[in-house]
A and B are shown apart, each in its own frame.
Chain A
Amino acid sequence: MTALSDHLVIAPILLPMLAGAAMVLAGDRWRGPVVALGLLSTLGLVALAAVLLGMADTPTVRIYRLGDWPAAFGIVLVLDRLSALMLALSAVLGFAAFVAALARWDRAGANFHPLFQFQLMGLNGAFLTGDLFNLFVFFEVMLAASYGLALHGSGTARVRAGLHYLVVNLVASLLFLVGVSVVYGISGTLGMAELAARMRDVAAEDRALLEAGLAVMGVAFLIKAASWPLGFWLPGTYAAASAPAAAILSILSKVGIYAVLRVWLLLFGPEAGASAGFGGPVLTAAGVLTMAFGAIAVLAAQNLPRLAGASVLVSSGTLLAAVGTGQAAVTGGALLYLASSVLALGALFLLVELLERGREIGADVLAVTREAFATREDEDEFQEPEAVGVAIPAMVAILGLGFAACAVLLAGLPPLSGFLAKFAMLAPLLGPPEATVAATAWVIMAAMILSGLAVLVAMLRTGIDVFWASPPAAVPRVSLLEIAPIGLLLALCVGLTVGAGPAMDYMLAAARALHAPGAYLGGVLGAGG
């Protein structure tokens, strides 16, 4: 506990916290120092995440005990492969969204920068914490900041969507609290590892109540992950939020997935005695239904922001269904999918705002209505010859390429990492050639492929409409600060594709550790001495 590297585990929480606190003191008057501090903090987080990613890639779990209290009494932070992966994703997305915000959004309202830092702090804390109540506290830190960010820039649409978002998440937090207190009342502990160790020995008459408590908590996680039928708040909120805020909000729904992965696999693994596998079919069913709802929402989306919001639903559903199967190999593929979809969705949310900039309001609705009712634009026909031969401006071409890359990633088409991840999930589901395939595996496979098709159709339709059928009236003015983060996120997806071998090894190791939590338990409880 004395080496400096031991203390690195808590650094991803402390760095944004201190930076955010300093920014609050500085206020909005000194933009220069605040931006420099933010840049330092987000870059620092990326560097920290890279170091922690390297440190976590071992069979042992790294524990940080606050105040050096034994794990049974004190608060622990736990760094394993999964939390390091999530830290890295939030750091990269945070950096990209921060840079994109510098172009203009950070001046659209008060206190953007401190809120952004607290958002990162809440995210990192939720990924690192080793007990349920601190998970709740970091959820609240993260949500409190996200309420501010979702409302950033103000305006009727944001306030209207923000009200729904706030109320739904407050109710979810209350459910979380109910679950946590039932769990404490029955088991007498809130440490995840301690609870997992006690799972087997819970008295038979208390088991149903404990499972009910955990299920109530699970509902709170599923609300955050926007699972059907708990996720109707998501597309509206994300569509209304400003671009950098929406990009960072898109990882918030993955925190719900992370919590399900962590808590469910830890507590209801094969060692849980009579509770083993509790709720797995529910997760799979919720995932498949979310995918179906997401596919419909994607097809029905009448504008780009809602399309991006709806594709968050599809990716949440895919992940939930894959996790619910309870197979380590499928979970490994799901982790690769998680990484790829976080990066792609972040890029898409940043891109959407740039595309919307050059378009007249209401053009999307008109295009979809025109398509649905097959009305011919006879009155516009005579203008056609003039329009033909107009070169697509370079900036529109670049944006189009970015949009195409996002579409390929989200729909899961080769050659990018979205396809590899879907393949990595589906191949173990089907099992070896001679084995019979379970009916649920067929359902999941059909849902994944059909929802991918729906995303592809919707993105193609929107892409054709935006870039070819009604190209922007004026070339959108885009600064390098706005296009570079999108490039960074997409380049990382390409990196995931090229380095799919090592990445997949890492994900599989992470998934195996999640499914056999012996090292996690030993690491946390053994450190108690």
Chain B
Amino acid sequence: MELVVALAIGVLAGSGVWLLLRPRTFQVAIGLALLSYAVNLFIFSTGGLRTGAAAILERGQEGSLGQFADPLPQALVLTAIVIGFATTALLLVLLLAARGLTGTDHVDGRERDR
């Protein structure tokens, strides 16, 4: 499972960085979205990858943290998702505004001189 998650994060981050470096605003927006998925998965995986483990110990139950899913990264990733969602929405609005005002979807607001 570790390998699959690591590969997924790597592919998402790689595609995200590639798109981020492209000159069109829409590509940049998608790149940022992919990159934030990669980061969210990464945060989630820092708590350790376990299947079927409970997040909170039941009363009277004994056990080490190794047997239980760490709830903190899950809380962190939830916050990160919400913030990322809001800022991506803002980016989309700005992208449309830039397209409308400058008449081009180049990130610099003008086409490169050919």
Contacts and interface: CB of A to CB of B under 8 A. Distances in A.
Interface of A: 133, 137, 140, 143-144, 147, 151, 154-156, 159-160, 162-164, 166-167, 170-171, 173-174, 177-178, 180-182, 184-185, 190
A163 B73 contact: no
Contacts of A140: 83, 87
A160 B36 contact: no
A230 to B, nearest CB: 15
B4 interface: no
B69 interface: no
Given A166-B87, A178-B42, A171 B107 contact: no
A18 to B, nearest CB: 21
Contact of B101 (A133, A144, A156, A184): A156
A505 B25 CA distance: 50
19 contacts: A137-B79, A147-B87, A159-B97, A159-B98, A159-B102, A163-B25, A163-B94, A163-B98, A166-B87, A167-B32, A170-B36, A171-B20, A171-B32, A171-B35, A174-B39, A177-B39, A177-B80, A178-B39, A181-B43
B30 interface: no
B84 to A, nearest CB: 8
Chain A facing B: main interface SS: helix
A164 B32 contact: no
A245 to B, nearest CB: 15
B46 interface: yes
B102 A160 contact: yes
Nearest to A151: B94
Interface in B66-114: 72-73, 76, 79-80, 83, 86-87, 90-91, 94-95, 97-98, 101-102, 107-109
Contacts of A181: 39, 42-43, 46, 73, 76
Nearest to B29: A167
A163 B98 CA distance: 8
Contacts of A154: 97
A187 to B, nearest CB: 11
Contacts of B98: 159-160, 163
Interface residues of B, number: 30
Given A163-B94, A167-B91, A182-B46, A133 B76 contact: yes
A143 B72 CA distance: 24
Contacts of A160: 98, 101-102, 108-109
A180 B80 CA distance: 11
B86 A166 contact: no
B35 A144 contact: no
A174 B46 contact: no
Contacts of B42: 178, 181
A170 B102 contact: no
Nearest to B32: A170
A162 B108 CA distance: 11
A147 B90 contact: yes
10 closest A-B pairs by beta carbon, nearest first, are A185-B46, A160-B109, A181-B43, A181-B46, A156-B101, A174-B39, A140-B83, A159-B98, A177-B39, A159-B97
Contacts of B83: 137, 140, 173
A294 B39 CA distance: 32
Contacts of B95: 163
Interface in B20-76: 20, 25, 28, 32, 35-36, 39, 42-43, 46-47, 72-73, 76
Contacts of B43: 177, 180-181
A2 to B, nearest CB: 29
Contacts of A185: 46-47
Contacts of B46: 181-182, 184-185
Given A140-B83, A167-B28, A159 B35 contact: no
Q: With a 10 A CB-CB cut-off, give which of A144, A159, A184 has the most chain B CB atoms.
A: A159
A178 B16 CA distance: 15
A140 B35 CA distance: 17
Contacts of B90: 144, 147, 166
- Residue of A173, A178, A181, A185 most packed against chain B (CB within 10 A): A181
Nearest to A167: B28
A370 B71 CA distance: 65
B42 to A, nearest CB: 6
B28 to A, nearest CB: 6
Given A156-B101, A160-B102, A174 B109 contact: no
B24 to A, nearest CB: 12
Given A147-B90, A156-B102, 17 more contacts: A140-B87, A143-B87, A144-B86, A159-B94, A160-B102, A163-B94, A163-B98, A163-B107, A167-B91, A170-B87, A173-B87, A181-B42, A181-B43, A181-B73, A184-B76, A185-B46, A190-B72
